[in-house]
Structure 1
């Protein structure tokens, strides 16, 4: 079922029983990117999959990643009602989850940060600046191929045309202003000096072939966190929960207990 959180500003689906588990989606995707793993998770957790601010029916917020993280902290507190909460973020959702944990240390009992990091290299920053510029000049349609390449390797795209059609359609539904604001935020992001303040256990996951947030970013992230474990997911790119749901779930299994 869907429910509204944070004073009606965040739309989320909720299913299952147990301790709350939040799933934050990536910038180039939507909450449907978790559809393949929710049935397994909802057997043990109250699984809550929000649309991040500005996506779907969730209200946009101004103020960059900090404002997005604060809005999601409000949503988590609303849904969890004080219960210990696990938050999983993929890509952009991982950056939101990390920023949220830094600003609201009590918000999560555990974090799973999949295919993100604490800061981009200069080429990584430039890629976001370019996507923002081209989308501003020509619309998000003009960067759809680039976006899909950041999510999936070409051979995976060729083998899964139906999945790719759905992912393209999801990306084209993205609010252009929200997309550009997120690109600008990620292009300037640097949370490395704040990682030591995250005291909860963190599982850092990354697809072996992730080009959007390369594995070196996850290595740096895990090294900067006080209580982190890093796992590389073989054969996967930026959204391993879509590309190989069984591997993704297997990588999390021991950590979720």
Structure 2
């Protein structure tokens, strides 16, 4: 597995394959300079059309606080292969993958869990099922139920286009023009194209269905004794900021609004995001120790 040259990995960050009983998952792993983690590890899970690379900008900073930090591609995403079976891409099935990954990475000990966007809907399955001992849980730019607003409309357009026109039409007629009009550098557009076409079409279709129909599970989450953080950008165009703030209140969770960021705080404001996660993780570990 290789990382494009323009996505140069910071010192202390490496590509790796994580072997589990359910298969092999592509990952990026960051370790402290000493190579010896002194705090509990963390697992970062990306959103629907994202990948582990979405966390590159925060991995080194997070690891320097003394942790092993691992970002993964979920089943069917980018460099993790997946079956041509839509049942493998439900939130419940993907959440089971997260349970298994967390147990392998954390070696059955406490581990911090972060889910970004659709990754939040997936990771909450692993939290609610209670099979893994999570040190803390962070919902990053995610929501209590199905996505709404502009991204809901984009998701419904994807469902209508995929069966008839496939990935090529979507990329050339919508996604690439959107990236270019937003001023995304050519080398990043090239990576986005590579990543988009590497995704499982079956997986992308089913995961889109899932993000458009997810039920509200906040009441179930409140029954789980785990420190929780809701973190989002002040200009989030996924779940509205007011909805995420209300979710934090319902979950009795800490809440951090990242100034200047939109739907991807780890990309748009990496230092602020990494600092907020580190503070939250340290506090969660202190409470657990006490």
- The 3-state SS of whatever aligns with 2:183 is helix
1:242 aligns with 2:242: no
Give matches, 1:185-224, under 5 Å: 185-190=210-215, 191-224=217-250
Give matches, 1:45-56, under 5 Å: 45-55=67-77, 56=79
User: Offset at 1:120?
Assistant: 2.7
Q: Which residue of 2 aligns with 1:230?
A: 255
The partner residue of 2:133 within 107, 110, 131 is 107
Which shifted more, 205-214 or 190-199?
190-199
Q: Which residue of 2 aligns with 1:13?
A: 28
Q: Which residue of 2 aligns with 1:128?
A: 155
Alpha-carbon contact 1:3-1:14 (below 8 Å) kept:
no
Alpha-carbon contact 2:233-2:259 (below 8 Å) kept:
yes
Cα distance in structure 1, aligned partners of 2:147 and 2:16: 38
- The 3-state SS of whatever aligns with 1:22 is strand
TM-score for both structures, normalised by structure 2: 0.77
Give matches, 1:137-216, under 5 Å: 137-144=164-171, 157-158=182-183, 160-190=185-215, 191-216=217-242
Larger Rg: 2
User: Offset at 1:76?
Assistant: 0.9
- The 3-state SS of whatever aligns with 2:42 is strand
Cα RMSD, aligned residues only? 2.7
TM-score for both structures, normalised by structure 1: 0.86
Cα distance in structure 2, aligned partners of 1:140 and 1:31: 21
User: Offset at 1:230?
Assistant: 1.1
User: Offset at 1:194?
Assistant: 1.9
Cα distance in structure 2, aligned partners of 1:3 and 1:195: 31
Distance 1:213 1:167, change over 3 A: farther
Stretches of structure 2 that go unaligned for 5 or more consecutive residues are 1-14, 283-290
- The 3-state SS of whatever aligns with 1:128 is helix
Cα distance in structure 2, aligned partners of 1:149 and 1:93: 26
Cα distance in structure 2, aligned partners of 1:73 and 1:238: 25
Aligned residues: 253
Stretches of structure 1 that go unaligned for 5 or more consecutive residues are none
Cα distance in structure 1, aligned partners of 2:113 and 2:210: 21
1:159-193 deviation per Cα after TM superposition (whole angstroms, max 9, x unaligned): 65543443343233222111110011111111233
Give matches, 1:17-36, under 5 Å: 17-18=36-37, 19-36=40-57
